[in-house]
Chain A
């Protein structure tokens, strides 16, 4: 059974609490970013680009057989790949409804704001917004299909 968004966030917060300083947090996110699977070239289109980032960020989504939302993402910047990877870990495989109603507290708790200051966090905010927009769009699609 899939873990809930809250459980996944708590897991991440626990992992990061073992890191001692900002350098370690940063390097850990880079390592996570390296492990994110590359998005296939056919998905790296302008339509899938997230606006508001200094680097290129692509995000795609589709529904699986259980009507849960599956996200894939990529970026030319490793630090951003790390963030995308964390967001995907928390939100991918969840129902659109759960995504729409969740509060993403793990970002603050792992000290992300120290790494991604307000001027850079536009990209992060845009990513989360886009994921929620996908959730809304797919939720609407599901409801229409029921009618």
Chain B
């Protein structure tokens, strides 16, 4: 179905004007205009986010939560405003359910450690899919090794979708948690997480949704999804690096022991013992990344101004155009052909054995893509490939840039033959 029928209220998306908001896009690499197609690795930041960082350090830098002076109050207010904004953005029921982390990786490690220590026992099972990022594999290895639990893998098909019927066979009474990418960073596949969550809950299992690649493309409503945990990183959502969010259902978070100990997360400390602070502070030890949390709000505000539906429509257009145009290149093969995808195209080229060659040549043409295993080594093994080249689009990319990518790949094929 053409994208215009699926999303009736498309607003004309003025890409050229929007690109003016992103200073970094207007430079040359090796004397050619930059084409930034590595958004799945990290997104570029609008002026509003950069200005927010400068504004923080210029007008309100102070440590938060405890200070009684004006600067401390300003900083605390701004910090908690971001928490409120994130709560609304995810449609969580309370700010107590919004925990600031360093990013998705820390969020998953927090759940693995804390939920793991409270709820995972010997013989229990944790399910992940075959397409997970290392950050959603390694923490579970830690838990399984520590507790004697078993990690089981939900298989995928050749198109890059999970095989739901196999998942139904895998889930059982011993399944304590399913950890699943909402969207795959390598394949672009959007997983049917609502269905998976319903299935998991019918067995009493919890679900952690890795939203690293979905949060910038798809509307997230954690109450509607009914997920138990949801993790995201600010730097993949046009915000600064070093900040992430762990959403967790209140009852669960309350039942989980703290992850890191130190200042902020305590109520009372004696030499003999400690009592812990309430949510969300129980899980926020130490001075947080204050400036970047505050600037993160500007990123979410920016996204809300553009409108997530408009962003999704624009990115779907780029994905369709890119898929069509690049598929016409002889020997071009897309890895990851699920029906529902975010705007990621992973590919290999028949005549160019190494994706490193593709990536390095494109860089000489000013085009930034990613090559290699994309932190999904088990997925590469499953697909019997060494790696892929990956172009990932954002709303500030254009069709003309995709045309340049096509030309670049065609030139690379000639050069390497």
Contact = CB atoms under 8 A, between A and B. Distances in A.
A56 interface: yes
Contact of B354 (A23, A78, A120): A78
Contact of B356 (A22, A27, A30, A54): A54
A75 interface: yes
A118 interface: no
Contact of A76 (B30, B354, B361, B415): B354
B364 A78 contact: no
B356 A55 contact: yes
A76 B348 CA distance: 14
A30 B416 CA distance: 7
A26 B356 CA distance: 13
B105 interface: no
Contact of B357 (A22, A78, A115): A78
B372 interface: yes
B144 to A, nearest CB: 27
Interface in A16-72: 21-23, 26-27, 30, 54-56
B415 A30 contact: yes
B65 interface: no
Contacts of B31: 21
Contacts of B415: 27, 30
A142 B360 CA distance: 41
A110 interface: no
Contacts of A23: 30, 364
A79 B357 contact: yes
A22 B353 CA distance: 23
Nearest to B31: A21
A102 interface: no
B371 A22 contact: no
B364 A55 contact: no
A77 to B, nearest CB: 4
Interface string B376-398: 00000000001100000000000
A55 B416 contact: no
A49 B360 CA distance: 21
B364 A76 contact: no
A77 B30 contact: no
Contacts of A55: 354, 356-357
A80 interface: yes
A54 B358 CA distance: 13
Nearest to B371: A54
A62 B194 CA distance: 60
Given A77-B353, A79-B357, A56 B386 contact: yes
A27 B31 CA distance: 16
Interface string A115-139: 1000010000000000000000000
A75 B364 contact: no
Interface in B25-43: 30-31
Contacts of B371: 54
B361 A77 contact: no
Contacts of B364: 22-23, 26
Contact of A78 (B30, B372, B387, B416): B416
B206 to A, nearest CB: 37
Contacts of A77: 353-354, 356-357
A54 B355 CA distance: 9
A55 to B, nearest CB: 5
A54 B361 contact: no
A41 to B, nearest CB: 15
Contacts of B357: 55, 77-79
Contacts of B416: 30, 78
Interface string B5-46: 000000000000000000000000011000000000000000
A23 B31 CA distance: 10
A20 to B, nearest CB: 12
- Chain B CB count within 10 A is highest, among A23, A27, A77, for A77
Interface in B290-346: none
Contacts of B356: 54-55, 77, 79-80
A38 B352 CA distance: 16
A133 to B, nearest CB: 24
A55 B359 CA distance: 12
7 contacts: A22-B30, A22-B364, A30-B415, A55-B356, A56-B354, A115-B360, A120-B360
Interface of B: 30-31, 353-354, 356-357, 360-361, 364, 371-372, 386-387, 415-416
Given A26-B360, A78-B354, A79-B356, 15 more contacts: A21-B31, A22-B364, A26-B361, A26-B364, A30-B416, A54-B356, A54-B372, A76-B353, A76-B386, A77-B353, A77-B356, A77-B357, A78-B357, A78-B416, A115-B360
Interface of A: 21-23, 26-27, 30, 54-56, 75-80, 115, 120
